Structure 1
Amino acid sequence: MTFLSDNWMKIAVALGIGLLIGVERERRKGAGRDRAPAGIRTYAVTALLGALAFELGGIPLLAVVTLSVAGFIALGYFRTRSQRDPGLTSEFVQLLTLLLGALAMREPLLASSLGVTVALLLAARTRIHTFVRKTLTEAELHDALVLAGAALVVLPLMPDRYMGPFNAINPHTLWIIVVLMMAISAGGYIALRLFGPRYGLPVAGLASGFVSSSATIASMGTLAKQRPELMPAAVGGAVLSTVATITQMAIVLGATHPATLAAMAVPLLSAGFMAVAYGAWFFMKALRQKIPETIEMGRAFSFRTALILATTMGAVLLVAAALNAWLGSAGLIAGTAIAGFADTHSPAVSVASLAAGGKLEATQTILPILLAMSTNTATKMILAASNGGSHFALQVIPGLLLTIAAGWLGGLQAMMN
């Protein structure tokens, strides 16, 4: 932006950064003999010092000034080290303020954004500490680290090319799906923690459906069988879990091959609308029911399940590619339909990957994906009957049938266009 090209405006940005951070530090400075040595004036001057050092002498002068300021900060730290917990936050923030002041002379917008971020982090100190120490459990911290490692460490190392028999497997694409599945499951877990049981089992079913819709239907059926008074809420949660399945389907298809998602847009929207409508009916009934005190949270996601999913997707890719090569489209349809009994996402991703590799047209993916969704619906119907009994099944199965029927109607319309 041109109005920030003038040096005076850049210096003003540096001063603003120093004042913003300084205001927050001044409030935590304390009083008396144990007060912190740096307050609003010190941080403002530090930011200006960084800006002027960079403007007058570039990197060499900035390095000298940074070392000098670091020396003074060290002296201030030793003066306060007798306190029970002096910490190092203020000292590092003061050095960061100096560097942000220098950055403002080159990239004022970036420097101001970082300055605001630092101030927000400092101001949210109490909330962050409370969240980490009291709200976040050890298992949740472990899951967060696993997800971060999978996304930030493993994913960049995965080769992004098709390889193996029939050139059917792209490790980078498979790992993206694994990361997405873990992230989506974690999102459902967070939603369940935020909303809690006060909105009843339908919200819990929707959130748990991001982990496994089939498992959710089975658990809801077991609960409904044990506590018949929760039947409407359990049915609503069971049906709404299919909304999570459809949402996951849209996300993984978009990540694998956007053209396949575009081809499946009408079927997915039709099925999703029907699932939402049927589940919402039972949700309204559930709001008038007695709400359980607690809901078992479990883990945010299962890394083992994600790895099994990756292996399954790879196997399905190989089988689908082999059947497609040997038998043509008939082999592909049979392979995805069979795989759908175990999981609906694996065959869908496999078909989308074949389309991404140029082996299928986007419109040719509609039929096999709908078949996989249909066979997976059959699995859910069996679980509903075996775990929830006839009363539960007679309420859940119509919703499942209406949902897949709506998907087929949308699919037929998409294939005819």
Structure 2
Amino acid sequence: MPEFEIFLRLGLALAIGLLLGLERGWHGRTEDEGDRIAGIRTFALTGMLGGVSGWLADLIAPSFPAFALLALGGLLALSYWLRLREDDDLGLTTEIALMLTFALGAASVIGEMAPVAAVAVVAAILLSMKPTLHHWVGQIERFELESLFKLALISVVILPLLPDQGYGPGEVLNPYELWWAVVIVAALSFVGYLAIRIAGARFGILATGLFGGLASSTSTTLALARLVRGDGSLSQIAAAGIVIAGSVTFLRIVALVAVFEPALVAPLVWPMVTMAATGLAGAGLTQVFAGGERALHDEIPEIGNPLALKTALGFGAVLAVVLIAVHYLREWLGSEGVFAAAAFSGITDVDALTISVSRLIDQDLPLVDGAVAIFIAASVNTIVKAGISLFAGNGGLGLRVGVIYLATIAAGALSLWLVG
């Protein structure tokens, strides 16, 4: 190894120690000098020790870092045991961070530098986020945690065992692909659901609309419309939140297409992005005239946990029905049948139709027809949400949302026509 590269890699090892030591030193800044197990100097030296061990692995023996790490672990274990005799409520975070610092220091000399630096930055962020992470964990209900574990178990253990072949009419029902679609959609929805559970209500209606678009824009629309029904003065700001949720849905569609059929992204991305941009612009104008924003209550009960097995299996059933319907309608009516299925599916669900059409691309459905079908489903679903705003909210809310959504659909149709 060239001399300059050795200095560079040892410098990275030192920088990693200083980075993690800075965080640990700041965390323990209120403790007395002798009460801290390690500060910035100790972490810097540990990083250097790891780097030198990695260097000696090349000069003396490849196993040298392993023995050095074992010795460091023994020293930390002894220190922890002695401190535990004085205080029986100790954590292991600093000890683990020291061992990680050593390992990253060694890896900076032995392995690739970029991944090592990335891991060090992520570790520093995790160490600094203790209050935030504890707050997030405190916001999660037990049944939500159990749902996450159950879905993870079924996905990791059962998914690889499912047959990866088609069954039923036209062999459109592939158990492996069906459940994989359920996992993707549930995980995407859970991001928005969890954001609302943790912070959405506290940050107001606009943040709820943003996160709700990931979780379920239809449920978010219903929740905000009912809010307006109880307090008509929230009509303008709720309209902005509803439109934001609907706009995020268009971007969500692009994300699903990118996962299940990347070739369909090209003809679909501009209409969906145009619709999202138009909706967000309309929401922005509505917010300008709405004045101050108000916070929501603690929860939005209309938005259910997407990782609950009942919800996940329900989506799987809907997806199976849509797949069969699209197959038969296409067989009977050609592309027009796919468009008809898209219109009916859009009344209740866009995700299932998006995935179904994405799979048809491999069965000789033209890309343009696939993009048109998804646009139809998204447009119908958008009209349904405008109707929910009118009937579950009030006339003012329905008018505001309806006008913006009509402009959104028109802009998307124009973009689709230009691209096609």
TM-score by length of 1: 0.81
Offset of residue 169 of structure 1: 4.3
Please say if residues 236 and 280 of structure 1, whose CA atoms lie closer than 8 Å, have aligned partners that are also in contact. Answer: yes
1:331 aligns with 337
* Distance across 2 between alignment mates of 1:177 and 1:77: 46
For residues 51-93 of structure 1, the C-alpha deviation after alignment (integer angstroms, 9 at most, x for no partner) is 3542333333443343333333333333222131343334333
Q: Identify the match of residue 382 of structure 1 among 372, 387, 391.
A: 387
Give the root-mean-square deviation of aligned CA atoms. 3.7
Does the alignment pair 1:215 with 2:219?
A: yes
The AA in structure 2 aligned to 1:339 is S
Match of 1:137, SS state, is helix
The worse-fitting range, judged by mean Cα deviation, of 171-180 and 139-148 is: 139-148
1:155-170 aligned at under 5 Å gives the runs 157-158=159-160, 163-165=166-168, 166-169=170-173
1:10 aligns with 9
1:413 aligns with 418
1:315 aligns with 321
2:138 aligns with 137
Q: Alpha carbons of 1:337 and 1:104: their partners in 2 closer, same or farther (altered >3 Å)? A: same
1:71 aligns with 74
* Distance across 1 between alignment mates of 2:376 and 2:228: 29
Q: Identify the match of residue 188 of structure 2 among 180, 183, 186.
A: 183
Offset of residue 135 of structure 1: 4.6
Mind listing any 5+ residue stretches in structure 2 that lack a counterpart?
none
For residues 162-182 of structure 1, the C-alpha deviation after alignment (integer angstroms, 9 at most, x for no partner) is 522324345347625643553
1:352-363 aligned at under 5 Å gives the runs 352-355=358-361, 357-363=362-368
* Distance across 2 between alignment mates of 1:234 and 1:119: 39
Q: Alpha carbons of 1:111 and 1:55: their partners in 2 closer, same or farther (altered >3 Å)? A: farther
Runs of 4 or more consecutive aligned structure 1 residues displaced over 6 Å after TM superposition:
2-5
Matched-pair identity in %: 24
Match of 2:365, SS state, is coil
Match of 2:228, SS state, is helix
For residues 6-33 of structure 1, the C-alpha deviation after alignment (integer angstroms, 9 at most, x for no partner) is 4444344444444554555566495476
For residues 253-284 of structure 1, the C-alpha deviation after alignment (integer angstroms, 9 at most, x for no partner) is 22222222211233223322332233222211
For residues 295-350 of structure 1, the C-alpha deviation after alignment (integer angstroms, 9 at most, x for no partner) is 63557842243442233223212221233234432332222222221112211221
Q: Alpha carbons of 1:359 and 1:83: their partners in 2 closer, same or farther (altered >3 Å)? A: farther
1:257 aligns with 261
Does the alignment pair 1:369 with 2:369?
A: no
1:349 aligns with 355
* Distance across 2 between alignment mates of 1:372 and 1:208: 19
1:15-414 aligned at under 5 Å gives the runs 15-22=14-21, 28=28, 31=32, 34-36=35-37, 40-41=41-42, 43=46, 46-48=49-51, 50-84=53-87, 85-107=89-111, 109=113, 110-122=115-127, 124=128, 127-128=129-130, 130-139=131-140, 143=144, 154=155, 157-158=159-160, 163-165=166-168, 166-169=170-173, 171-172=176-177, 175-176=180-181, 178-187=183-192, 190=195, 201-288=205-292, 291-292=294-295, 294=297, 296-297=299-300, 301-304=305-308, 305-355=311-361, 357-414=362-419
Q: Alpha carbons of 1:70 and 1:53: their partners in 2 closer, same or farther (altered >3 Å)? A: farther
Offset of residue 378 of structure 1: 4.0
- Count of matched residue pairs: 407
* Distance across 1 between alignment mates of 2:122 and 2:220: 39
Please say if residues 3 and 9 of structure 1, whose CA atoms lie closer than 8 Å, have aligned partners that are also in contact. Answer: no
Please say if residues 339 and 372 of structure 1, whose CA atoms lie closer than 8 Å, have aligned partners that are also in contact. Answer: yes
Q: Alpha carbons of 1:105 and 1:204: their partners in 2 closer, same or farther (altered >3 Å)? A: closer
* Distance across 2 between alignment mates of 1:174 and 1:282: 40
